Structure 1
Amino acid sequence: MAYELFWGDLHSHCSISYGHGTVEQALARAAQQLDFCSVTGHAFWPDMPTDRDRYAEIIDYHNEGFATLAGNWERLIELQRQASEPGRFLAIPSYEWHSLEFGDHNVYAPGPELPLRDARNLPGLREVVRQSDGIAIPHHIGYRSGYRGINWDAYREDVSPFVEIFSLHGCSLSDDAAWPMLHDMGPRDAGSTAEEGWRRGHRFGIVGGTDHHAAYPGSHGDGRMGVFAKDLTRGSLWEAFLARRVYAATGDRIDARMFLDGAWIGDCVKQPGKRTIQVAVQGADTLDRVELLRNGRIVQRWHPEPVEPNPRSHRYRLRVTWGWGRKEIPVDWDIRLSLSDGRIMDVETLFSGQAIVAPKGSSESEVNVLDEVDLPHAVIEQDERSCDWRSITTGNKTMRHETTQGMSFELEGPLDTRVTVEANGHRYAYTLAELLRRGQSHFLRGWLTEAIRIGPLVPVEECRVEGEFIDDPESDVDVYRLQVAQRNGQWAWLTPIWVERG
């Protein structure tokens, strides 16, 4: 069976419960750069702390948020229904169920309907989910069990076919993964990682989701998921979810595929002897490495081969990034990129919202900049030789929280093609040869003001890896998975394939 790759974010928030921005803004922003999304409302917390001396603020804002969602639930369902059009964009209904003991779960149904129902504990939630033909997906699983991290002793894969391992909370893949958990909910715990779950014999997929709290599903760099499905319909997406043909990515659309004797990710197969693993990866920028893991250990590593581009005509990826400046001063951008020769083959937006993971996480002045505009970043016009877009940026919140925005272009043309970027009345021009593997930066109004970076330009071959690996059985059940790292820090992690010796 051949499947298409679709991109989505099943975990984002807004003011429909607690957070910033409207449902309408969230859906419009999601449709810019995703195939599907879910605007999730915070709904229930059956074992919420009751000690008001210590947790009064937390108790109050959660209860207020739950009440807000309950009063607007039918409106949320209807807005997501109206935003959906099979083949173009789908919004999937969901709500969040918190638990100290069992970890937080999001409840989903194929939609467009989903009853808003509570449960006293995780077994009860599973029964609620079954009645809706839904699924319950654990997220930020890496926190310690008993403190809103996953409880692997209570996990059941029948209603939780995958878990969320990457978001603004950090990465829960393994104990030594990049992106530590830095929220005040605490550090990552080795007993709560995805690798620990696989070690225990559980079979589940992995995805990314932003857990963004300012109406920006798919906020670039904060987490998203890829899904291999027959087409962009509710039924096909749901079939892919249940089959675990899903994977996690940080932000760039890294098309990563792994097959084992024809089996897709998420499959369980029997193979008593040698097995052949094939991988094919197409990144959005220069690949650093592609790693195949068996039972948690790297057994094969691939790197792209550097190439000398054909000076008369070649395909490249070019990234343009803008922002910087003072974080308290918003900047409006009007930008145009044009080519003197060749053509633009593809445009990928790298738009993001403010890095907000909790309602108290940012000052009102910071989020109001984006709340005032339904689409703070937007492509205005595009053809084979040019692309026009607008944007609003503020300076980076910290040196670890970027608010820069970006666009990634696939171009085809000779090396003497001139790329001209016009930004807020300033004009910068370079040949492709001058941008090859080199980024050029410019301040628009002098030091410590807004800036733009053009490049680097990289041949598409250096964004691509294909490989094959033949392996022997190591244990009664071998777990194979793939992970991909780009040089720019973007990652993808694939759901495993399980191989029984038979």
Structure 2
Amino acid sequence: MDRRMLGKVELYPKGDVVAGSVGTWRLVFKVGKVGIDEGGTIIITRRTVCDSDIPQLEDPSKPGYVTVTTTGEAKLRVRYEGRYHIRPWRGSLVIDVYDGFLKEGDEIVVTYGDRRGGCPGFRMQTFREREHTFRVLVDSFGTGKFYEVEVSPTLKIIGGPPDIVEVVAPSKIVAGEAFRILVRVLDSWGNPSENYRGTVEFESTDAEARLPLRYRFKPEDHGCKWFDGVVLKSPGTHVITVKADDGMEATSNPIMCCREEPPLKLFWGDLHGQTRMTVGTGTVEEYFAFARDVAALDFCSWQGNDFQVTREGWEEVKRMVKSFHKPGRFITFLGYEWSGLTPEGGDHNIYFIRDDEQIHRSSHWLIEDKSDEDTDRYPITELWRTFRGHGGVMAIPHVGGRYANLDLYDPEFIPLIEVHSCHGTFEWFLEEALKKGLKVGFVAGSDDHTGRPGLAYPTQRISREIASFDVKGGLTAVYAEELTRESLWEAMWKRRCYATTGERIILWVEADGHQMGEEYETGSPPKVFVRVYGTGPLMEVELKRGTETIYRHPVSKPRGSSDRRILVEWSGVRSKGRAHRVNWDGELHLSAGRILSVEEFAFDKPQEGAWRFSNQIVKWSSTTSGDVDGVILEIDAPEDAKVTFSTKPITFTFRVGDVTHEPLSVDAGGVNLKVRVWEVSANGGPTRTEFKYVDEDVKAGVNPYWVRVMQRDGSMAWSSPIFVRYEP
């Protein structure tokens, strides 16, 4: 039909909107020639990932209040439904017409953030989007068949005022050789502050360093600026500090300055994210540009849900992969997400070493053109059958909408598994793989849907029925000889890589001279060497054998009673999968003595936190999605004083005198749902450490040795295992 006959829509005010800002917007729909009969419906829907205020129609004094009126001679029945329309357009304002009809020229006015009753306004989504669409669909005859108006209104959402500055540098460089660094200024939600015009200066722990001159940001920088020609001259581990004239300050990730070219360099990437082609936002071109220019990644891949990737869409992905691929500067991998249901395989990211390959989807569920449906492969064993002998395919199972089924693991295709993304931290997935005896390494990514691969921040609640992204996206670190597709591919197949929660922590693990990911056989107790350079003070460094902790390096052990603090941390999920977060809102009570201070530990969202309610009570608001939250307590109390921890998942009591540096762990059910209580240093641990450990209790057979790192800011890293076959 001629969609112009449905009507015309305008959105006011026009102009750019700052991400996360609060305001009032009026959407005016002028009914077209067709009109809308009694029983007809109008839908205003936005993308699933949109995390603006959830429209509410009940309380005119609360945030997100929406009103809907009409100039026509009919009544309107309005409701908001989180899963009303077709993915990726789910959260919908549904407007039913009754007791009359609407004719050409009648108007429906929707006011988002109507302030007349005291509502503070309507908060816009927290991430940038060049074309944020209010998609308007009309069912004029009440048939259940909807048509979109010819032009749905859009807004451009931009980054907000500066909140933090960050500086990103290579993890390994050679003394005397020039390299480049990125300085980015971000708003409160992790977006580039595009209108930043401040001035920055540089310092380094290397007194002989050649650093950029004082610089004032320009409009064309859009809040991010690369600086070339940086040189460190003193071998060792250094950092670069950037100071802005408005008081912001940041220190770079650790930089290992080598005397000569190292045999292996350390590269950083995010291999997992989506765009508006499937369930995310932005174009594929914008996605790769952000990864390269803002997130400062060395490598990246796009991973759209296959059941939404059309033939034309796949060709676009291939073009963008080729266009952005620049050996030595930025590496792209062609790929997609095979998105079958868990019993038949579950979510697997598929990667190719070449950039012109056939996509084999799990289905064509949301693709209208079924002409190439014969290329689908379901279940995943059929995909393995098709790719058998291909030689240029890699699969990485992950926990997404449909968590991967490790019972269908195939070593010809799977060298790695994903242990962290914006959906949460999935140590249960890692442990399940080890218990099954799978020889896999560990990676992390973002599974970003907001156009920010490599720098994905948590979102706010998306709808009453759809999950938000609960934690910051992760990164994968790869030790490779050079920045080429072939070298990275080889390193990942050798499992010479590790995962972090987004920070560029340097982690090196070897056993008897064998690097992470390797397999070897020995008749002597393995000698493990670990080196960690953190981006902040180290809280815990654990050496694991399989799922058992065999050694905890005392990086944060208190140095006396005045340095003693008690960390109470909680973590886990209700059940396997994503969006199974646990509500830990609760409190703790001290029976005698005083709580002198409380420090928040690893909270992820601004609405979460802890506070000292009194000198014997601490309260908090917290959810976890496998990640860790907690409180660090300074207590002046007798040893027999009792602390009662009270939350919905679990309530228990412990004595102050029973808390040592060895964690007291209390199981709370669920999946890895637990509380740990242990003593830590008031000032945190060092930012770097190294140690050697000989496992005199090694077991006969294959022993996977790996390291788990946790910093005082809650950031984490997981090394890929070294698989040691011990034959005494």
**What pairs up with 1:16-415 in 2 under 5 angstroms?**
16-31=277-292, 32=294, 33-44=296-307, 65-67=308-310, 70-100=311-341, 101-117=344-360, 118-130=376-388, 131=390, 133-140=392-399, 148-174=402-428, 193-220=429-456, 221-304=472-555, 398-399=607-608
Matching residue of 1:408: none
Q: 1: CA distance between counterparts of 2:427 and 2:266?
A: 22
1:7-43 CA-to-partner distances (Å, cap 9, x unmatched) read: 1111001112221111122111111321101122221
**SS of 2:336 mapped into structure 1:** strand
1:231-256 CA-to-partner distances (Å, cap 9, x unmatched) read: 11011011011111121110110111
**SS of 1:298 mapped into structure 2:** strand
Question: C-alpha displacement at 1:114, in angstroms?
Answer: 2.5
1:482 aligns with 2:697: no
**What pairs up with 1:5-24 in 2 under 5 angstroms?**
5-24=266-285
Question: C-alpha displacement at 1:398, in angstroms?
Answer: 4.2
1:390-418 CA-to-partner distances (Å, cap 9, x unmatched) read: xxxxx96743699xxxxxxxxxxxxxxxx
Q: 2: CA distance between counterparts of 1:244 and 1:26?
A: 26
Matching residue of 1:491: 716
1:296-324 CA-to-partner distances (Å, cap 9, x unmatched) read: 11111124489xxxxxxxxxxxxxxxxxx
1:72-93 CA-to-partner distances (Å, cap 9, x unmatched) read: 2112111121112111111111
AA at the equivalent of 1:273: S
**SS of 2:414 mapped into structure 1:** coil
Q: 1: CA distance between counterparts of 2:435 and 2:691?
A: 26
AA at the equivalent of 1:123: T
1:189-231 CA-to-partner distances (Å, cap 9, x unmatched) read: xxxx221221121111111111111221112531111111111
The number of residues matched between the two structures is 318
Q: Which runs of 5 or more structure 2 residues have no equivalent in the other structure?
A: 1-261, 361-375, 457-471, 558-577, 580-603, 609-621, 625-681
Which has the larger share of helix?
1
Question: C-alpha displacement at 1:132, in angstroms?
Answer: 6.2
**SS of 2:549 mapped into structure 1:** strand
Q: 1:397 to 1:111 in 2, by over 3 A?
A: farther
Q: 1: CA distance between counterparts of 2:280 and 2:684?
A: 39
Q: 2: CA distance between counterparts of 1:240 and 1:161?
A: 10
Q: 2: CA distance between counterparts of 1:216 and 1:13?
A: 9
Maintained 8 Å contact 2:441/2:497: yes
AA at the equivalent of 2:433: G
Q: 1: CA distance between counterparts of 2:285 and 2:606?
A: 26
Larger RCO (CA within 8 A; separation ≥ 6): 1
Q: 2: CA distance between counterparts of 1:199 and 1:132?
A: 28
**SS of 1:91 mapped into structure 2:** strand
Matching residue of 2:691: 467
Q: 2: CA distance between counterparts of 1:296 and 1:401?
A: 25
AA at the equivalent of 1:292: L
**SS of 1:462 mapped into structure 2:** coil
Question: C-alpha displacement at 1:121, in angstroms?
Answer: 1.4
Q: 2: CA distance between counterparts of 1:196 and 1:43?
A: 26
Percent identity at matched positions? 34
Question: C-alpha displacement at 1:135, in angstroms?
Answer: 1.0
Question: C-alpha displacement at 1:258, in angstroms?
Answer: 0.5
AA at the equivalent of 1:121: P
**SS of 1:219 mapped into structure 2:** coil
Q: 2: CA distance between counterparts of 1:240 and 1:289?
A: 27
Maintained 8 Å contact 2:539/2:684: no
Q: 1: CA distance between counterparts of 2:314 and 2:713?
A: 40
Question: C-alpha displacement at 1:163, in angstroms?
Answer: 0.9
AA at the equivalent of 2:450: A
Maintained 8 Å contact 2:525/2:695: yes
Q: 2: CA distance between counterparts of 1:82 and 1:3?
A: 27
**SS of 1:217 mapped into structure 2:** coil
AA at the equivalent of 1:156: D
Q: 1: CA distance between counterparts of 2:329 and 2:486?
A: 14
Q: 1: CA distance between counterparts of 2:386 and 2:434?
A: 26
Maintained 8 Å contact 2:475/2:501: yes
Maintained 8 Å contact 1:8/1:37: yes
Q: 1: CA distance between counterparts of 2:412 and 2:320?
A: 30
Q: 1: CA distance between counterparts of 2:519 and 2:274?
A: 34
**SS of 1:259 mapped into structure 2:** strand
**SS of 1:236 mapped into structure 2:** helix
Maintained 8 Å contact 1:139/1:164: yes
Maintained 8 Å contact 1:129/1:136: no
Q: 1: CA distance between counterparts of 2:551 and 2:276?
A: 46
Q: 1: CA distance between counterparts of 2:412 and 2:480?
A: 20
Which has the larger share of strand?
2
Question: C-alpha displacement at 1:103, in angstroms?
Answer: 1.1
AA at the equivalent of 2:539: D
**SS of 2:406 mapped into structure 1:** coil
AA at the equivalent of 1:233: T
Q: 1: CA distance between counterparts of 2:386 and 2:270?
A: 23
Q: 2: CA distance between counterparts of 1:79 and 1:109?
A: 14
Question: C-alpha displacement at 1:459, in angstroms?
Answer: 11
Question: C-alpha displacement at 1:158, in angstroms?
Answer: 1.7
**Greater than 4 Å deviation, 4+ residue runs:** 395-398, 458-461
Q: 1:26 to 1:398 in 2, by over 3 A?
A: farther
Larger radius of gyration: 2
**SS of 1:27 mapped into structure 2:** helix
Maintained 8 Å contact 1:304/1:463: no
Q: 2: CA distance between counterparts of 1:293 and 1:84?
A: 37
Maintained 8 Å contact 1:129/1:135: no
Q: 2: CA distance between counterparts of 1:216 and 1:139?
A: 19
Q: 2: CA distance between counterparts of 1:460 and 1:73?
A: 48
Output the aligned Cα RMSD. Answer: 2.8
Q: 2: CA distance between counterparts of 1:292 and 1:491?
A: 14
